[in-house]
Amino acid sequence: MASLPDAWVEDARNLDNAEQLLHSAHGILLETPAIGDFLRNETNKRIVVAPKGYGKTFLLKSKRILLQRNSENLLCLPDNQLVDATISDSPSLSQADVQRFIDYAFWCQIWSAALMVSVVKSSAKFHPLDPADFRSPVMRQLLLSSYPVSPFDALKRLINSDREFQQARRSHDLTTLMSYYRQIRRPVAVFVDTIDEYFEGYVDSADPSEADASYLHSNKDSRIWIVGQLGICRAIRELLGVNPHVKIFVSIRKEAFNSLDYYDRNAVNISSLVVQLHYSSEELSRIFDRNIEAMQRDDLTQPREATPIARFIGASNAMIVNPITKKSEFFYDFVLRHSLYRPRDLMLIGGKIAQIPAGVRTQERLRVVVDQAAGEIVRYYLAEMRGLTEIPDRSLFGLIPSNVLERSVLKRIAETYAVRLKEKGLEAPNAHPFCALYRLGLLGVVRRNREQRDIQIFRRPHDIEHDGSKAPLPAERHYLIHPALDDIIAQASSDYIRAFHTRNVIGHGNRWREGKIFKCAAKGDLNRYSRVLSDPVVGEHFSRYLGSEFEKCKKEVEYAALESGDSVVLVDDSADRVLSAARSLQRAVRRFQMPQDFRFGAAVGAIAFSTTHTDGQSVRVPSAGIVIRAAARIEPHAEPGTMLCTEEFLSELDERSRPLFTPVTQAPLQGAGLLLGDDGVAVIRKNDHEEPVETRLFQAPLG
């Protein structure tokens, strides 16, 4: 019996056991069409492109394992590990070396030679070499030695001396090497990873504090980091035409790949070999679920619950309440908006949650752990990006007063920030510090989409451009601090949390609402409730049962009320949460000994709340609820066990929920107060004195 995979694995670097790696990678792989295409046996994709934390190493290692399983004759390189990987031990450079190393053509030639050397050397037992064919010392040393030579081994030897490499070219050894490479008929697969890490010592961070660090080179140029990775892409493209029996698979960073069209006029041909990794919210949620499924039963809070998230943190925490905005959200959404939408972020957050003892995973502890993990994610991210794009000094964070800022506030902070840098003896950059945060995806904006809704937008790590095309800070009314920065800023400024924005939950893709508060609401009634009340014993039992089930379901939404024993009101920012609560109530009443059915009407509209005091506690109740009245007007026309909603409510639903609803186009629903026109628009009247509700209607079963 196969053992459970490791859950919450952040780095595949140390995973070389085939079975364990595939089990652990199961949490990331096979989640997107792009990944599925790369893993196909006959794929034409060779280059995996993504920022850090997207699963490049998982993907390369899994590709090798799958190829080896499907072909007994396949020779895979390197011999002693799944992928060729190295540390950042690149050589120190003179000023003359720097000029050579920033040349894109140089790296295309070097990588081409290094890859051919490794393949030809490893294939020598099938295609013997004639020592007399090679005259240069460097080629004879690499090809005729008794030890295996990986692509990185060959690369390091070839760049060690420009004189020796030029000698190999003049002696026509590279032409001879290509001739041997072309003659190989046995299938070969080569896997090269961590190229970015090899060149990271050349990244110029412009940080004076690093000037004396012994592990950093004195002569640096960030362009080396870029062309060193792009060179292997061009080499793969060229070698593919020399010998199709040899398949070379590599990973490079997206930040470097963004510059390909600047360096190579054939960028479009190279791009045809590329698979770029990115993930939707739904795919990331599935990754999170799969890691929960890999956990040991004793590490789960409620192992018998139906959904993975309920098993992991408890059913009562599947919806988490923001203590400042008082709004509830799905725990998945809470985690995702505190991440940079990278699988590695979820591994870090999930691993931190797993360290909380299963019995004490309260909402307060979960919020604290996610906030702290998010701060850790940002610190790592800023370190990774230093030198590739501008990174503000940490003193900026102590100047940020709130998580929602106006443009005039940004300007004042930038001026104070420049003064603080000068006081510390640092040179203030020409760029606006919030331009840097925006490019990094740590400062968001509010944009209106095609449906005329205001949506919060944050850039992702895979949106980072090369220096030549930096995105400017757009002129917007509101600027939003990424939730992953909240913990870092709160540590620098005690006033930050007190000044938190309370109307909107900040996060990529979330709606932004100003002025009137518009919410989604549903009004539900039990169908034929009188049948239950006809039996006093059953009626009393049902009242207690429904009250108990309602207390569970009300946690899913911002506001819920059980009225007159059989009527329910549900209100929330999210139509999906309203639908989820309605479905939970319907399932609950169907489980009763005398199964019942709710029918719901749902709409979107304005609502206001006021605070009342009951039994010494403050309670928010609707004081003016146009949306509740609209939902109540629709509810009587719904079939038992269904929800009948307006077109606006349908448009608020997630893409996964919308297919549940079908348009109402026929007359069976027509009755007193409802007229259905030929154009599909329903007119619902209560009386002649009140304005009717005019809308297209959609219905979905709640079972």
User: What is the count of structural domains for the chain?
Assistant: 4
Q: How far apart are CA 439 and CA 381, in angstroms?
A: 13
Question: DSSP strand E in 532-589: where?
Answer: 559-563, 567-572
In a domain, 325, yes or no: yes
Same domain, 224 and 327: no
Mean pLDDT score, 124-144 = 93
Tell me what percent of the residues of the chain surpass a pLDDT of 90.
57
Same domain, 484 and 533: no
Q: How far apart are CA 457 and CA 499, in angstroms?
A: 21
Amino acid, single-letter form, for residue 537: V
Amino acid, single-letter form, for residue 684: I
Amino acid, single-letter form, for residue 143: L
- Which residues neighbour 189 within 8 Å (Cβ) at sequence distance 6 or greater? 64, 67, 74, 75, 76, 77, 246, 247, 248, 249
Task: Report helix, strand or coil for 101.
Answer: helix
User: Residue 265 burial by CB count (10 A; 0-12/13-18/19+): exposed, middle or buried?
Assistant: exposed
pLDDT recorded at residue 667? 58
In a domain, 9, yes or no: no
pLDDT at residue 625 greater than cutoff 80: no
What angle in degrees, to the nearest 10, is found between the helix axes of 104-122 and 173-183? Answer: 50
Q: How far apart are CA 217 and CA 477, in angstroms?
A: 44
pLDDT recorded at residue 212? 42
Same domain, 543 and 646: yes
Whats the size of the chain, residue-wise?
703
Concatenated DSSP letters of 34-94: HHHHHHSTT----EEEE-TTS-HHHHHHHHHHHHHHH-TT-EEESSSSSSB---S-PPP--
Q: Is the pTM of this model over 0.85?
A: no
Same domain, 109 and 215: yes
In a domain, 272, yes or no: no
Same domain, 557 and 642: yes
Same domain, 649 and 592: yes
pLDDT recorded at residue 22? 65
Q: How far apart are CA 67 and CA 71, in angstroms?
A: 6
How does pLDDT run across 184-195, given as a tens digit for each residue?
A: 999 999 999 999
The chain-wide mean pLDDT, for the chain, equals: 88
In a domain, 80, yes or no: no
In a domain, 146, yes or no: yes
* Other residues' Cβ atoms within 10 Å of the Cβ of residue 677: 10
CB 188 within 8 A of CB 77: yes
> Which residues span the domain enclosing 401?
394-499
In a domain, 336, yes or no: yes
Same domain, 399 and 350: no
Of 471, 499, 527, which residue constitutes the final position of a domain? 499
Same domain, 143 and 102: yes
Cα angle 330-334-339, degrees, rounded to a multiple of 5: 145
Same domain, 332 and 224: no
Q: Considering only residues 211 and 408, tell me which one the structure prediction assigns the higher pLDDT.
A: 408
In a domain, 79, yes or no: no
Radius of gyration of the chain (CA): 31
- Which residues neighbour 173 within 8 Å (Cβ) at sequence distance 6 or greater? 134, 135, 136, 139
Least confident interval from 211-215, 365-369, 505-509: 211-215
Same domain, 226 and 99: yes
Same domain, 332 and 235: no
Residue ranges of alpha helices (H) inside 323-480 are 331-337, 343-354, 363-385, 407-423, 433-440
Residue in the structure block whose two tokens are 């060729």: 84
Strands 567-572 and 518-526: antiparallel
DSSP letter (8 states) at residue 251 = E
Least confident interval from 259-268, 563-572, 678-687: 678-687
The enclosing domain of 610 has a CATH number of 3.30.70.1230
In a domain, 573, yes or no: yes
Same domain, 653 and 525: yes
